[in-house]
Amino acid sequence: MEQGYIKLFRQIVDWEWYDDIPTCRLFIHLLLKVNHVDRNWQGKKIERGSCITSFASLNAETKLSVEQIKRALKNLQKTGEIKKISTNQNTLIIVTKYDDYQCFANVDNKQTTNEQHEDNMQKTNEQQTDNKRTTTNNNVKNIKNDKNNNNLYCSSDEELEMNQIIRTIVEILNIETEKEFSPDAKLTRKLIQDKLNAGYSLADFKCVIEKKCDAWKADPVMKSYLKPSILFGNKFDEYLNE
């Protein structure tokens, strides 16, 4: 386990799973376990707030039974605390609101006085504010339209959210297919964005990817069709409703 610390809000005592000991235990363990910065793992990028694990690892680390872990993961998925993407070898866990829970930069876990701690937090918050302003300004400059400033900021936020969803969908596809499709490919982005604009959800994409991987992955010929241009094309709705 890495050095450092996490934030744990007092409001967690009002959380609906706080009294469910296995679920609460597992969630706090995941907050401690997930990456606090993006990392590479076996050629794949595992983003901040995510980790690669398995039932066996979680069992050894938390001393919860596999059944308790499965039920706890379902509870956390049900209420949106996590997303779980499973393969034959391992499981990717994504703490969906990690940045909301852990909204400060990593600090070495050294013993400090209260004054030092407060000073570090203040500097971190100031730095975050500057970074957010810089990011927002850069995003606004890249939007080529004649809308007013308020609309520019709105468009920037929507674009950032759309980019994150597209990257998540392509990451799910890459994990399931063991390939390296780029989330920046123009055709892939267009196909996904068109479906999202038509009302389809991230869960719909995950469902189509998992269904077709189950159906085609074992067939060498059909396996070649496990790519964005096929899965997210004209037959997307047909695949979804199979």
Choose the final residue of a domain: 73, 101, 129: 101
Rounding to the nearest 10 degrees, give the CA dihedral for residues 114, 115, 120, 126.
120
- 76 and 154 in one domain? no
pTM of this structure = 0.43
How would residue 65 be classed by pLDDT, with cut points 50, 70 and 90?
very high
Instruction: Name the amino acid, one letter, at 211.
Output: K
Structural domain that includes position 97: 10-101
Query: Does 63 fall in a domain?
Result: yes
Query: Does 27 fall in a domain?
Result: yes
pLDDT value at 6 more than 70: yes
Number of domains in the chain: 2
Compute the average pLDDT of residues 90-108: 73
Query: Does 50 fall in a domain?
Result: yes
Choose the final residue of a domain: 101, 121, 136: 101
Alpha-carbon Rg for the chain, nearest whole angstrom, is: 20
Least confident of 38-52, 60-74, 122-136, 172-186: 122-136
* Distance set, CA 17 to CA 68, 76, 101, 127 (Å): 13, 8, 16, 33
Choose the final residue of a domain: 41, 75, 101: 101
Query: Does 85 fall in a domain?
Result: yes
Least Cα distance to 190 among 204, 220, 169 occurs for 169
Q: How confident is the model at residue 153, as a pLDDT? A: 42
Query: Does 107 fall in a domain?
Result: no
Longest dimension (CA), the chain: 64
Residue linked to tokens 């993006």: 38
One-character DSSP codes across the chain: --SS-----GGGGGSTTTT-HHHHHHHHHHHHHS-SS-EEETTEEE-TTEEEE-HHHHHHHH---HHHHHHHHHHHHHTTSEEEEE-SS-EEEEETTHHHH--S---------HHHHHHHHHHHHHHHHHHHHHHHHHHHHH--S---HHHHHHHHHHHHHHHHHHHHHHHHHHHHHT----TT-HHHHHHHHHHHHTT--HHHHHHHHHHHHHHHTTSHHHHTT-SHHHHTSTTHHHHHT-
Query: Does 156 fall in a domain?
Result: yes
Compute the average pLDDT of residues 182-190: 93
Q: How confident is the model at residue 124, as a pLDDT? A: 58
- 92 and 28 in one domain? yes
Is the Cα dihedral 2, 37, 41, 158 positive or negative? positive
Query: Which comes out higher in pLDDT, residue 83 or 106?
Result: 83
**What tokens appear for 140 in the block?**
């606004």
- 233 and 157 in one domain? yes
How would residue 146 be classed by pLDDT, with cut points 50, 70 and 90?
very low
Query: Does 207 fall in a domain?
Result: yes
In CATH, what number is assigned to the domain containing residue 85? 1.10.10.10
Q: How confident is the model at residue 231, as a pLDDT? A: 93
Cβ-contact 160, 173 below 8 angstroms: no
How would residue 133 be classed by pLDDT, with cut points 50, 70 and 90?
low
Query: Does 1 fall in a domain?
Result: no
- 80 and 18 in one domain? yes
Query: Which comes out higher in pLDDT, residue 158 or 121?
Result: 158
